[in-house]
Amino acid sequence: MRAIKEKTVLFLLAFSAAILLLTFAAIILFIGVRGLSTINFRVITASIRKGGIFESIIGTLYLLAGTIAIATPLGLATAIYLAEYAPKGKINRIIVQALNNLAGVPSIIFGLFGYAFFCRFLGLGISLLSGWLTLTCMTLPIIVRGSQEALKMVPKDFRIAAEALGAPKWKIIKDIVLPTATPGLATSIILGISRVAGETAAILFTCSVFLTKDLPTSPLQPVMVLTYHLYTLLIACPGASTDYAFAIALILLGLVILLNLLAYLIRMHYRKRWKW
């Protein structure tokens, strides 16, 4: 009797894990199969005026590059400060609390805030720059948290050894701690990029438009983005062919999977190489 009960429980638990895996497989297969049949070289490289999505792809890359350029130094500085300079104490607690709260703010609120503050109050308008700044606010918690973990993983002995040699604090961080933590830092930045790549709600009214004449030439111009393009295709043009939609969804999915795979591989590679 007991054994049967144990078996039943195990079966039910394994079953729920299987459902999760099946759901995942269903999403990947559904978008993968239909996406692959619609995507081709022409769609990717042709301008929107010729029925392609070239501008959206480049626009997404612009958006990613700028956000990372702003968010990375900010995030790393915060993480280094939290992990190395103020590991305990009131300031640390307040900053961590603020980051936790930021991480819990829904992305649509970031969109509202970005519109009210960057676009209107600072007068940046619907522009690439507004998008960068809005998305920076969003990715900051991800980058800081990941980087902080990475910095914490650096063994204490390394620091103590460097201190014993008389190295000043900043030198220890620059020459010992940061190089050791690089894989972890890279992982957290990649995960930050992956969040930005798929973000829609926060860019709806801060930086994206459905149609521009050309690629933006300055950060103060609006930009076409893949997620926004997909959103408009599905929401604003009911009855429009879903072929493009599948192609865009596949590109987005592929991008996110690729970035996650990269982060995973970096982590695995270094875990194997350095054991302490």
Partner 1 sequence: MRSKRLKLLCFKDKVEILLSILASISIVILFLIIIFVLKEGFPAFIRLGFSSFLLGRRWAPYYEDFGAFPLLYGSILIVFGSLAISVPLGVSTAIFLAEYSPKWLSDMIKPVIELLASIPSIIYGFFGLTFLAPKIMEFLNISMGKVALTASMVLSIMTLPTIVSISSEVIASVPKEYRKASLALGATKWQTVKSVVLPAAKPGIIASLLLAFGRAVGETVAVLMVCGCVPQIPSPPWNYLEPVHALTAAIALDMGEVSWGSLHYHVLFGLGVILLAITFIVNMIADFFIKKAPRGVQI
Site for partner 1 in 113-172 (CB under 8 A): 113, 115-117, 120-121, 137, 140-141, 144, 149, 168-170
- Position 17 contacts partner 1 (CB under 8 A): yes
- Position 242 contacts partner 1 (CB under 8 A): yes
- Under rule CB under 8 A, which residues in 254-273 are in contact with partner 1? 256-257, 259-260, 264
Q: Which of 58, 107, 125, 266 binds partner 1 (CB under 8 A)?
A: 107
| Cβ 74 vs Cβ 136: under 8 Å | yes
- Position 274 contacts partner 1 (CB under 8 A): no
- Position 82 contacts partner 1 (CB under 8 A): yes
How far apart are CB 99 and partner 1 at their closest, in Å?
Answer: 5
- Under rule CB under 8 A, which residues in 175-194 are in contact with partner 1? 191, 194
The stretch near partner 1 (CB under 8 A) out of 43-51, 80-88, 176-184, 216-224 is: 80-88
| Cβ 112 vs Cβ 138: under 8 Å | no
Radius of gyration of the CA atoms of the chain, in A: 23
> Can you tell me which residue has the tokens 């590991």?
87
The stretch near partner 1 (CB under 8 A) out of 3-11, 50-58, 178-186, 213-221 is: 3-11
- Measured CA to CA, the distance from residue 140 to residue 22 in angstroms comes to 33
- Measured CA to CA, the distance from residue 114 to residue 207 in angstroms comes to 9
The stretch near partner 1 (CB under 8 A) out of 8-16, 47-55, 56-64, 175-183 is: 8-16
| Cβ 107 vs Cβ 199: under 8 Å | yes
Q: What residue type is assigned to position 136 of the chain?
A: T
Q: What residue type is assigned to position 81 of the chain?
A: Y
- Please state, in angstroms and as integers, the Cα–Cα distance from residue 160 to each residue in 155, 167, 177, 248, following that order: 9, 10, 11, 51
How far apart are CB 269 and partner 1 at their closest, in Å?
Answer: 14
How far apart are CB 48 and partner 1 at their closest, in Å?
Answer: 19
How far apart are CB 79 and partner 1 at their closest, in Å?
Answer: 8
- Please state, in angstroms and as integers, the Cα–Cα distance from residue 1 to each residue in 4, 9, 10, 11, 83, following that order: 5, 12, 14, 15, 53
Q: Where are the alpha helices (DSSP H) in 88-127?
A: 90-104, 107-114
Q: Which of 22, 36, 65, 94 binds partner 1 (CB under 8 A)?
A: 94
With respect to partner 1, which residue has the nearer C-beta, 149 or 176?
A: 149
How far apart are CB 268 and partner 1 at their closest, in Å?
Answer: 10
- Please state, in angstroms and as integers, the Cα–Cα distance from residue 238 to each residue in 18, 225, 233, following that order: 35, 19, 7
The stretch near partner 1 (CB under 8 A) out of 50-58, 92-100, 176-184, 215-223 is: 92-100
